[in-house]
A and B are shown apart, each in its own frame.
Chain A
Amino acid sequence: MNRPRTLAAIVLTWLPAAVTAATWASWSDRLPGRMATHWSGTGPADGFSSSSGFGAAMLITGVVAGVAGIVAAGRAGQRFWLGLAGAVAGSTAGIWVCTATATLDNPADPRLGWRLLYFVAGLAWGAVVALAAGPSPAGVQPPPETVAPLDLAPTERAAWSTTLRAPALLASMAVAAIVVVVVAAVGQAPIWPVVVVPLAAALVFGRVRVTADRRGLRLTAGLLNLPFKTIPLAEITGVEATEIEPLEWGGWGYRVTPGRAALVLRRGPGLVVHQSNGRRFAVTLDDPRTPGALLSALLARSA
């Protein structure tokens, strides 16, 4: 890891929160109790919040983004998340500065106008952080475990399948659905359709069938019998059995990040498939070596 550049990136990720804290401290005695916090277009403000509450929310978001930046900076292959943390930190400070200066400039009728540029600049701060961090440190990840191909005789045919169950995911989706139903029932009727999201996620990911065979790798929603991820054998360039660190793949669940996708149900062993288009796909499995060895053998046979 390039330590000076990584440290610089961390400092830059925290800078927006520092700006928010410093400006809030120096403006607090001049800000009214309630300040304009929402505009529609270029007209007058149409939303107001408590100044201290809004300032605290922006500061806390900046600090959380800063912490996320530290976590991302310490790991290999996390430049995207470091940049995202920088963009979140920068844009929240931008929101704070543009709303607060609009109120300070004309407390009677605050207008946003050109101050929106503070917010745009804050978003762009993510790119500054990513550039400062430089390329993702290479060689930090342990070398992938190469899977020896299965000793498949020319007259042999083989297929592998398993079923993944995700009780934790099912439980959290059930909780999410209940929350949506309760919120909708107590008066927020427009959010009723949102209940579809956790129900669909539970249907698709509650039970997943993973198959590796002459068709390639395939993930099927077990409850619907619907293939939702298929990688044809012809598009597989290599397979590895490795340890899946959820944060490196974007978290738990079905994750899509630049250049790769993954179904991560837990931390631990998993299968990583390299695709001919340069993308990688990972899925957590108790025994990734067997499907890995089979796919290697089938690849060698088709080559």
Chain B
Amino acid sequence: MLFRVDVAAAEPLADQIAAQVRGGILRGDLAPGERLPAARELADVLDVNLHTVLRAYAKLRDEELIELRRGRGAVIRADADAARLRLVELARQFVGEARRQGLADAEMLAIVREAQP
């Protein structure tokens, strides 16, 4: 599993790290039960703040992709669903693009409804 973050990018570092883990699950690089690097170690080798990594891991826990347990570190959940994650990723891109175009929520929902065959 390769983590790469760009300190010059506009996207916050925590979001970049979370996106790497999501990508890893999507590609199958990170299988259920796989352990993520310890937050302290990842922060050290990427030369970022420990709280940045902890924020990324907390985000992934809230998305029900990883489990955080004291002493056991961060582990990919057994029910981390790569297929659903793919949809979530697409939705994220769709919402991001729609926001850039200045669409309101109701307009976005209308587009999703129209997309149905």
Residue positions of A touching B, CB distance < 8 A: 150, 152-153, 155-163, 211, 213-215, 222, 290, 294
Contacts and interface: CB of A to CB of B under 8 A. Distances in A.
Interface string B42-54: 1001111000000
Contact of B4 (A158, A162, A211): A158
B37 interface: yes
Given A160-B3, A294-B2, A155 B8 contact: yes
A159 B42 contact: yes
Interface in B22-59: 34-35, 37, 41-42, 45-48
B95 interface: no
B35 A214 contact: no
A159 B8 contact: no
Given A155-B8, A158-B4, A294-B2, A163 B45 contact: no
A157 B2 contact: no
Kindly list the 9 A-B residue pairs having the minimum CB-CB distance in the complex, ordered from nearest. A155-B8, A213-B45, A158-B4, A159-B45, A160-B2, A156-B6, A157-B46, A159-B3, A155-B7
Nearest to A297: B4
Interface of B: 1-9, 34-35, 37, 41-42, 45-48
A153 B34 CA distance: 29
9 contacts: A152-B4, A153-B6, A155-B6, A156-B5, A156-B7, A160-B2, A160-B3, A211-B37, A211-B41
Given A211-B45, A213-B45, A158 B37 contact: no
A158 B2 contact: yes
Nearest to B34: A163
Nearest to B48: A157
Contacts of B48: 157
B47 to A, nearest CB: 6
Contact of B37 (A150, A152, A157, A161): A161
A231 to B, nearest CB: 15
A215 B2 contact: no
- The residue in A152, A213, A290 that gathers the most chain B C-beta atoms within 10 A of its C-beta is A213
B35 A156 contact: no
Contacts of A159: 2-4, 37, 42, 45-46
A225 to B, nearest CB: 8
Given A162-B1, A290-B2, A214 B8 contact: no
A219 to B, nearest CB: 14
Contact of A157 (B1, B35, B41, B47): B47
Contacts of A222: 35
A157 B34 contact: no
B14 to A, nearest CB: 14
